[in-house]
Structure 1
Amino acid sequence: MYNPNLPLVYHPNYSFSFDPKHRFVVSKFARLKSYLEQQGLIGQNLHQGPVGHYADLELVHCEQYVRDLYHNELCPKAMRRIGIPWSKELMARTFTAPLGTYLTASLALKNGVACHLAGGTHHAHYDFGSGYCMVNDLAYTAERLIKEKRVHNVLIFDCDVHQGDGTAAMLTHNPFVFTCSIHCEKNFPFRKQQSDLDIGLDPNVSDHEYLRVVEATIHDLLEQLNPDLVLYDAGVDVWQEDTLGKLDISWQGLEKRDRIVLNACNQKGVPVATVIGGGYDKDHERLAKRHAIVIEQAAKI
């Protein structure tokens, strides 16, 4: 049975008309919401955050960078590094999603667990974007909650197949945020940053070894850090058929991974906010169902 009161966060501007052949599937957010509605997981538990503005992200990003990004004044090289063509709709989504992650974290602090139907833009750095990520919602949420004195310390537990390089770089000097990235070592980004804990896995690692690492790591970190909040990037690009992943994790392995992380937090009484992270698939409906796994698992707690 699913918990009908699991707080979910979504905004209609997350998806918009976009090239369906582009590797980054903009429609996946709306498709994810639609799938969750079909599964009976959405009702009065759906929350909508405010529309964001570039000024919001000046808390953690270079002011000039976010202003130039918003006004389409970045140089062509900088936009190529991001990998998504500029549009007003993209900017609306880009600056709204971090506020959605912040709202998700706020709901998790109140309810124990909450899930964002977006988020996990961990390749965004202080003054540049990269790998389809323009601003860093994880860094923004952690920094804002700490600044507001709503939490003392935060664990960012990133299980996307790609290292959370932007998050690591942006938070390297913050002693109150611990960044952990469990990723495929021989994958993007090819110039890694230093997280507080990096676990780089060999290509083709399968369920048994992967789940052993995830379980041992989350339990150890919760015990050592006793965080006030966990921000969990449940990237599904570790799946064996993902077009940008190089691991060999089954669908059932994804379910077990999310169950391990969520149950570990629940058992320790640590609030956890989830974001969907990366996932790439030519079958867009299947991708939405893959991103739904963490939400389905959270609804079973």
Structure 2
Amino acid sequence: MSVEQSRKEDKLPHRTNLYVNLPSTLWPIVYSPDYNITFLGLEKLHPFDSGKWGKIVNFLKEEMLIKDETIVRAIEAQEDDLLVVHSKRYLNKLKWSFIVATITEILPVAFLPNFIIQRKVLRPFRTQTGGTIMAGKLAIERGWAINVGGGFHHCSSDQGGGFCIYADITLAIKFLFERVEGVSKAMIIDLDAHQGNGHERDFMDDNRVYIMDVFNRYIYPGDGFAKRAIKWKIELEWDTEDSEYLEKVKTHVAKALRQVTPDIIVYNAGTDILDGDQLGGLAVSPQGIIKRDEAVFEAARKYKIPILMVTSGGYQRSTARIIADSILNLHRLQLIDQRLI
């Protein structure tokens, strides 16, 4: 093999199970029971409902939107997949239980053997990360996709935090850039209550990625350096309510899409904007969240841009029902269907 041939092979994408071709009969809704974290009750030490993803799917099944056999089963991201973004050094750090405890904010995890942490904590996160990557491909093929999990927007290539261990948003976009012809520009619309500092750090100097972030200015992470990557920044005050919030989202999403037309929108649809959320500090109603998601999908349809939605943060038990109701509303309005393109 010549040196030139060797260099060409080095540039070829790695082999992965995440970009498999799937039957068109499946809905581009991605989920696995492995998303849910249950381990000796330790998951209850964090305010996040670590079983919400299964609850969302159960609500959708009860409403007859989906069945187990009609949704896409997420596949766990392997080390080679994660290395597309993450450094080997960072992945090795996750072999220390103390590091995982710090990222997940569940301190007793630090005292558990790491092989248990890998299976009970990190595997669910890797499976959700695989789900986001798979949903990126599906969004391009079908016009839309929803990963029932994912949205780990505080994790960057070399640092986790805020219950975010793998940079699934960055990974999904990098996979698309490397593997899908015609995808060269992405827009992240991050509407979680918290600043998405992870993907912002990852795409700091990458003009292919346009980031819009709407967040509570006073809460975690307050990452001033990462804010430099935000192209369209809307910082909210405490207790922002429906009317102001929805007006800002609709107005600024429209302005951003008039400024740039991406090949895909990655929509981080956190529900921690809900009134009463102890970490979000905003005051949006359940109906306000449903109308927000509707507005983002309407904008994507108007400009004929494929959209990938991830569910991200939300720290009240009612968020699973709200997310399911929002997905049902999108279907009722024909903003999602089995295939839109």
Q: Does 1:55 align with 2:80?
A: yes
Find the aligned partners of 2:53 and 2:191 in 1 and give their Cα distance.
19
8 Å CA contact 2:160–2:166 kept in 1: the answer is: yes
Partner of 1:114, secondary structure, is strand
8 Å CA contact 2:268–2:312 kept in 1: the answer is: yes
Find the aligned partners of 2:304 and 2:279 in 1 and give their Cα distance.
34
Unaligned runs of 5+ in 2: 1-24, 110-116, 336-341
1:14 to 26, 31, 35: 35
- The residue that corresponds to 2:93 in the other structure is 68
- Cα gap change, 1:228 to 1:222, in 2 (>3 Å): same
Find the aligned partners of 1:175 and 1:245 in 2 and give their Cα distance.
29
Find the aligned partners of 2:37 and 2:261 in 1 and give their Cα distance.
40
Find the aligned partners of 2:136 and 2:56 in 1 and give their Cα distance.
20
Partner of 2:275, secondary structure, is coil
- The residue that corresponds to 2:329 in the other structure is 297
Cα RMSD (Å) of the superposition?
Answer: 1.8
8 Å CA contact 1:113–1:271 kept in 2: the answer is: yes
8 Å CA contact 1:6–1:113 kept in 2: the answer is: no
Partner of 2:145, secondary structure, is strand
1:73 Cα deviation after fit: 2.3
Find the aligned partners of 2:330 and 2:79 in 1 and give their Cα distance.
31
Find the aligned partners of 1:45 and 1:57 in 2 and give their Cα distance.
27
- The residue that corresponds to 1:106 in the other structure is 137
1:91-148 per-residue CA deviation (whole Å, 9 max, x = no partner) reads 2112222221121121111221111110100001221210000111111111110122
Partner of 1:21, secondary structure, is helix
What percentage of aligned pairs have identical amino acids?
Answer: 28
Find the aligned partners of 2:326 and 2:141 in 1 and give their Cα distance.
19
1:140 to 158, 168, 171: 171
8 Å CA contact 1:258–1:297 kept in 2: the answer is: no
1:187 Cα deviation after fit: 0.9
- The residue that corresponds to 1:160 in the other structure is 192
Q: Does 1:38 align with 2:53?
A: no
Find the aligned partners of 2:179 and 2:256 in 1 and give their Cα distance.
24
Give the letter aligned to residue 92 of structure 1: R
Q: TM-score, normalised by structure 2?
A: 0.81
Q: Does 1:212 align with 2:247?
A: yes
Find the aligned partners of 1:293 and 1:262 in 2 and give their Cα distance.
15
1:149 Cα deviation after fit: 3.9
Partner of 1:122, secondary structure, is coil
List aligned pairs for 1:218-297, cutoff 5 A.
218-281=253-316, 284=317, 286-297=318-329
Partner of 1:7, secondary structure, is strand
Give the letter aligned to residue 212 of structure 2: C
2:212 to 164, 177, 180: 180
8 Å CA contact 1:157–1:179 kept in 2: the answer is: yes
- The residue that corresponds to 1:197 in the other structure is 232
Find the aligned partners of 2:213 and 2:325 in 1 and give their Cα distance.
20
8 Å CA contact 1:168–1:196 kept in 2: the answer is: no
Give the letter aligned to residue 80 of structure 1: T
1:90 to 118, 121, 132: 121
Give the letter aligned to residue 63 of structure 1: K
Partner of 1:59, secondary structure, is coil
